[in-house]
Amino acid sequence: MKRNILEAAKVIRSKNSGPYELTLDIMFKDREFYELFKKRRIINAALISRLYRVPKSDILRVVYFEPSHAVKVTLRRRIPSGAPGETDIYGAQQHAPLFDITF
């Protein structure tokens, strides 16, 4: 049976990385989960593009970061921060689709 990401992650968050990028961080509970996710590349550009329904070309980078047992995905902001039509200036509430990840 597939397990939900919440079993493996202790931090799931989003934030601007400058006004044009949104960056998503998932920090794992321990090294084992980190290694598992990294080895199987569970978090990847295709997955994020599907969850956020954005083209793959909008995904700038997926980085597995060993010192924090974390994976970071940086993508294009829907619109630059504060432009007409903005809903979340800081980009701090754009992480919820990640709760749908299973492994």
Partner 1 sequence: MDKPRGKTLPEFRILSTTAILGYGFPESSFRNGLRRKPHLIAADAGSTDPGPYYLGVGKSFTSRAGVKRDLRYMITEGVRRKIPVVVGSAGGSGARPHTEWCLEIIREIAREEKLHFRLGVVYADFKKETVLRAMRRGRVKPLAFVPNLTREAVLETEYIVGQMGIEPIIRLLKKKCDVVLAGRCYDPAVFAALPIMRGYNPGLALHLGKILECAAIAATPGSGSDCALGTLRQDSFILEALSPARRFTPESTAAHTLYEKTDPYHLPGPGGEIDLTGCSFTDIGGGRVEVRGSRFVPTEKYFIKLEGARPTGYRAITIAGVRDPIMIAGIDAILKSVEGQVRAMLKKEGNRGRVFFHVYGKDGVMGELEPHRDAPAHELGILIEALGRTPEEAEALLSVTRSTLLHYGYPGRISTAGNLAFPFSPSDITMGRMYEFSLYHLMELDDPDGFPSKVHVF
Q: Would you tell me which residues interact with partner 1 (CB under 8 A)?
A: 11, 15-21, 23, 25, 27, 51-54, 58, 60-61, 63, 65, 67-68, 70, 72, 74, 76-78, 80-90, 93-94, 96-97, 100
Residue closer to partner 1, measured from CB, 3 or 50: 50
Q: What is the CA radius of gyration of the chain?
A: 14
Residue closer to partner 1, measured from CB, 7 or 100: 100
Q: How far is the CB of 43 from partner 1 (least distance, A)?
A: 14
Question: What's the rounded Cα separation, in Å, for the pair 68 and 88?
Answer: 26
Residue closer to partner 1, measured from CB, 39 or 84: 84
Angle at 62 (CA atoms; ends 95, 13), nearest 5 degrees: 20
Q: How far is the CB of 16 from partner 1 (least distance, A)?
A: 6
In the chain, the DSSP E strands lie at 9-16, 21-28, 59-65, 70-76
Beta-strand relationship, 70-76 and 21-28:
antiparallel
